Amino acid sequence: MFAQMLIGFLAGIVAGVSPCILPILPVILVGWTTTENPPRSTRRSLAVVAGLVLSFSLITALGSVLLSTLHLSDNFLHRLGIVALGIFGLSLIVPRLEQLIERPFARLGRPGGAGTSSGFVFGLSLGLVFVPCAGPVLATISVLGARHQASVSTVVMSLCFGLGAALPLLAIATAGSRLIERNRRLASRVRKLRPLAGAVLVALALALNFNLLDGLQRMLPGYTQSLQHAVEENSFAAKQLRDLRHRHATGSLAPCESRASFTGMGTLSHCGVAPEFTGITAWRNTAHNQPLTMKSLRGHVVLVDFWTYSCINCQRNIPHVEAWYERYRRSGLEVVGVASPEFAFEHDVNNVTQAAKRLGIRYPIAMDPDLATWNAYANQYWPAEYLVDAQGIIRHVSYGEGRYPEEESFIRALLHEASPTTPLPVATSVVDQTPHGSISPETYLGTKRSQFLVNNSMVDGQSDRFKMPTDIPFSTYGLGGAWTPSSECITAGEGARLTINVRARNVYLVMSGRGTVKVSLDGRRLAPVDVEGIPTLYTVLHSSVTQTGLLTITFPVGVSAYAFTFG
């Protein structure tokens, strides 16, 4: 754990001097230099740091658990922090409001909002809006928290990250506080500027609320990227983060997964006993939709396939899995497709059932809405295959698409191992549609992951009109017309358009609603797409050769778009 603490702390220091922190520096300086009692300003600085570290660390590691338990929206705590900052700002402008706020701290700190208690509360509110640049460390903590896999190690690493990030800020604030303490005239001037400081806080709270600082962050140079790479992406740090991600897994499974890779293991191995299916809420394609267990499947070779229906990689993988099931089930193969959702709409059993029929899936499907079986296998990818022999031992792990002949050879080897005298049918011959070469990356459109949006920031639930940018670099997109964003998708209003700079043979887009979507590539009209009903993956560009250019999509009112994938 010490190594992970050190990595978290060093990564936090890098985040604390990164360009992402610059937009909130005025908040920190205003909050720490508005004290009316200069001799205690250093103590107040420490109190604010403590509040910031505690709130940021706990919310990062445990926030999603708390929000889901209380049935609150994903951005509730962030909004709460913004409101608190705004109230602190107003209290510096309106003396009466300041008096009301300071009363709860009268016994704990000095009246007037200058005590350590009020500073600690200010730090708590600041921690709720503190969003440093996300690197591997912060991404690991956030993902584990979002999947309810937070542990003592996760919380401790989060605290270390927060401490590291706060260290540069504390140095700046302490230097400012000591300057004020040593200069009575400056201290007097600072007190007279309290209303102006309050206005700055209110303005920054509004800017945070409407995501007006995101554009500034994108414009700032990434001067800490190489440092972040050196601290967080070296081989030692990568191993520590991987171990943290897999710590919730059974001990016998973790070593196998650490050897698996996107290039395949190349040989059968012994990776430990396959975990039991757990947290499954429904079954499909079994006798009377009754549950299966790994114990009941002993004697069969089992392929456990993790998938989600809007994932194009999974959709290209499914014909091969279905072909193996049909070809070898009489020879002793069983397939279980564990439906592990990525989006909220994929939690719906009816949506998964309809998608499975549409995709031609006839093998058993296990609904894993809370990712319980996903976690039991320490899985991280869609699609992912775990090949289990007749004794219940995992013998091969494969992530992603491709390598189908190799995987089928492993299936045949285990079937022969289970029953050496039983002849096997000829191998399958499904065409491999795995794309090769450089193509556009998967692109999400909701507010949670809109990092490729060029022209504007989006606010969850707030309708807005967008002006299409004149310059859209490769693998980014711009919006035009009226849109209403949510955490996972954007919903079209009047004149809604989206232009994305792509490189791919095929472009797919998850959409829902009803209406005809118009598509063009560099001004050349393509076939329109009819959107009908629940969220579904649609093909908006299909070509035999790689296409590069600006793909423009015009949406009818009410149609929602979730994510692009490419092939």
- The pLDDT value recorded for residue 234 is 63
Question: Beta strand pairing status for 464-466 and 524-525?
Answer: unpaired
The average pLDDT across 418-444 equals 80
Confidence of residue 262 (pLDDT cuts 50, 70, 90): very low
Lowest mean pLDDT among 180-189, 449-458, 460-469, 526-535: 180-189
Most confident of 28-37, 230-239, 364-373, 493-502: 493-502
Give residues with Cβ within 8 angstroms of 176, minimum separation 6.
29, 32, 33
The model's pLDDT over 14-66, given as tens digits with 9 standing for 90+, comes to 777 766 666 566 656 555 444 444 445 567 667 777 777 787 777 766 665 66
Q: Does 366 have pLDDT greater than 80? A: yes
Give residues with Cβ within 8 angstroms of 343, minimum separation 6.
308, 310, 488, 510, 535, 562, 563
- The pLDDT value recorded for residue 261 is 39
pTM of this structure: 0.49
Is the model more confident about 481 or about 75? 481
- The pLDDT value recorded for residue 40 is 52
- The pLDDT value recorded for residue 4 is 75
Q: Tokens at residue 114, please?
A: 């200058």
- The pLDDT value recorded for residue 556 is 94
Lowest mean pLDDT among 17-31, 105-119, 303-317, 409-423: 105-119
Q: Does 265 have pLDDT greater than 60? A: no
Q: Does 292 have pLDDT greater than 80? A: yes
Are 353 and 289 a contacting pair, CB within 8 Å?
Answer: no
- The pLDDT value recorded for residue 252 is 42
Q: Does 467 have pLDDT greater than 80? A: yes
Cβ-in-10-Å burial (0-12, 13-18, 19+) of 226 comes to: exposed
The model's pLDDT over 511-542, given as tens digits with 9 standing for 90+, comes to 889 999 999 999 999 999 999 887 888 889 98
CATH code matching the domain that covers 249-418, chosen among 3.40.50.1860, 3.40.30.10, 3.40.50.2300, 1.10.287.130: 3.40.30.10
Name the average pLDDT for the chain.
Answer: 76
Q: Does 258 have pLDDT greater than 50? A: no
- The pLDDT value recorded for residue 546 is 87
Domain boundaries, the chain: 2-231, 249-418, 443-566
> In angstroms, rounded to a whole number, what is the distance separating the alpha carbons of residues 261 and 63?
31
The model's pLDDT over 204-229, given as tens digits with 9 standing for 90+, comes to 778 777 656 544 544 444 455 556 55
Are 274 and 298 a contacting pair, CB within 8 Å?
Answer: no
**How distant, in Å, are the alpha carbons of 440, 549, 567 from that of 546?**
11, 10, 9
Phi, psi of 342 (to 5 degrees): -105, -40
Confidence of residue 481 (pLDDT cuts 50, 70, 90): very high
Q: Which position has the token pair 């002949």?
A: 405
CATH superfamily of 443-566: Galactose-binding domain-like (2.60.120.260)
Fold match, 249-418 / 443-566 = no
- The pLDDT value recorded for residue 219 is 44
The model's pLDDT over 140-160, given as tens digits with 9 standing for 90+, comes to 565 555 555 666 777 778 788
Is the model more confident about 288 or about 438? 288
Listed in order, strand segments (DSSP E) in 22-115 are: none
- The pLDDT value recorded for residue 184 is 53
